[in-house]
């Protein structure tokens, strides 16, 4: 019988499926449902510094007393953080699978403030949800240096595993991953889904775009998982962004992933999809005579395929030359 046990970022998982940070992981009842559905670990919904400060500003704006603003800001921050810490405590008490906290900050000192509190209440690991866009305001190395600086500070502060969820807008992804690994990062998630925008051409407004990923998005995730796992072979990678089927799970592991984060699929297909993935993954492994996940992990990574340039192909010439109308 196929054994789905694996490890990611130093955590032992009963299977490679991780419930990604989302509204589906923001309460104890939902977390327990995820565990019962069969996932191997859960990433809690991110604690957003921006959301905390926005709440503070709204409350402060209705106060007639300027001296109350500092009190309001402190109270709101402590209230948000304490609720998050309570969720971690409760999840650890009620669940047997690993519970990974997640934080999103934009001020350098906030990462260490939040991270230490999260470690103290028993989170099994911390995922850094770092999302920034360089729209020409910084030099070309700013984003990479920011990741490195945050991780360096956190490694001095906490001992639990650190996982970094990266966006696709990096100029040298394997190089950055290699730097993060050398600093002690325990796992990488590819990729973070940026806020999608659109333009309303009737009302002339910037509006929200599609909320969920599309199956076609997985192509980039697969490409970079294979390249990074081939060039930085000793780093644990979790595929995210575009996973919509059990076949995607198999593909991600073949490319080099140790785990697979699920999000849009859970929203669109429901928690029953977890059991379906597990069943299909077991059947596929048995059909191909694989006993463990490690038997086929990285089998088709950048460093293990006969022609690794296939992962580097970016032009459409081959497709169009064979296309017939």
pLDDT of residue 46: 85
- As a whole number of Å, the end-to-end CA separation of the chain is 47
Within a domain: 77: yes
324: tokens are 């017939």
The CATH number of the domain holding residue 167 is: 3.20.20.70
Residue 95 within a domain: yes
Number of domains in the chain: 1
Cα 19 to chain center, whole Å?
A: 9
Residues 113-131: tens digit of each pLDDT: 788 889 999 999 999 987 7
Helix, coil or strand: residue 41: strand
Task: State the Cα torsion 271-276-281-283 to the nearest 10°.
Answer: 160
Q: Encode pLDDT of 312-324 as tens digits.
A: 776 665 555 555 5
In a domain, 62, yes or no: yes
Average pLDDT over residues 288-294: 97
Q: Are 119 and 160 in contact (CB under 8 A)?
A: yes
**Cβ atoms 127, 102 nearer than 8 A:** yes
273 part of a folded domain: yes
Cα distances from 89 to residues 28, 105, 108, 131, 178, in angstroms, run 10, 22, 26, 26, 33
CA 52 vs CA 72, 78, 176, 294: distances in Å: 11, 9, 29, 41
pTM greater than 0.75 = yes
The SS3 assignment for 155 reads: helix
Around Cβ 113, how many Cβ atoms within 10 Å?
A: 16
In a domain, 1, yes or no: no
Whether 305 is in a domain gets the answer: yes
With vertex at residue 131, the alpha carbon angle to CA 159 and CA 236, rounded to the nearest 5 degrees, is 45
Residue 316 forms part of a structural domain? yes
Q: Which pLDDT value is given to residue 186?
A: 96
Range of the domain at 108: 6-321
- Using the Cα atoms of residue 251, residue 255, residue 257 and residue 263 in order, give the sign of their dihedral: negative
Res. 176: pLDDT tops 90:
yes
pLDDT of residue 134: 65
Q: What pLDDT does residue 73 have?
A: 44
Does residue 69 lie within any of the structural domains? yes
What's the mean pLDDT in 18-31?
A: 95
pLDDT band at 133 (very low <50, low <70, confident <90, very high): low
């Amino acid at each position: 019988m196929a054994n789905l046990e694996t490890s990611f970022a130093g955590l032992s998982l009963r299977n490679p499926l991780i419930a990604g940070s989302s509204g589906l992981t923001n309460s104890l009842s939902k977390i327990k449902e995820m565990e019962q559905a069969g996932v191997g670990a859960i990433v809690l919904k991110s604690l957003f510094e921006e959301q905390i400060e926005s709440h503070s500003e709204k409350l402060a704006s209705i106060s007639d007393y300027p001296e109350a603003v500092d009190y309001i800001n402190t109270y709101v921050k402590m209230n948000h953080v304490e609720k998050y810490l309570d969720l971690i405590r409760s999840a650890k008490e009620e669940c047997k699978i690993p519970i990974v906290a997640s934080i999103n900050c934009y001020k350098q000192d906030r990462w260490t403030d939040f991270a230490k509190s999260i470690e103290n209440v028993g989170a099994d690991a911390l995922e850094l949800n770092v999302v920034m866009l360089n729209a020409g305001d910084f030099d070309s190395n700013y984003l990479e240096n920011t990741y490195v600086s945050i991780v360096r500070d956190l490694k001095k502060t906490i001992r639990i595993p650190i996982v970094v969820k990266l966006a696709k807008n990096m100029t040298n992804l394997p190089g950055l991953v290699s730097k993060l690994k050398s600093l002690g990062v325990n796992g990488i998630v590819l990729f973070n889904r940026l806020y999608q925008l659109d333009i309303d051409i009737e009302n002339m407004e910037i509006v929200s775009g599609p909320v969920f990923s599309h199956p076609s998005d997985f192509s980039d995730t697969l490409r970079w998982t294979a390249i990074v796992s081939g060039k930085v072979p000793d780093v644990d990678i979790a595929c995210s962004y575009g996973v919509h089927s059990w076949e995607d799970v198999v593909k991600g592991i073949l490319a080099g992933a140790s785990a697979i984060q699920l999000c849009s699929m859970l929203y669109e297909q429901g928690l029953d999809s977890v059991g379906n993935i597990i069943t299909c993954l077991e059947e596929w492994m048995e059909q191909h005579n694989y006993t463990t996940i490690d038997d086929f992990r990285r089998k088709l990574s950048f460093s293990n395929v006969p022609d690794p340039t296939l992962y580097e192909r970016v032009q459409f010439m081959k497709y169009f030359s064979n296309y017939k109308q």
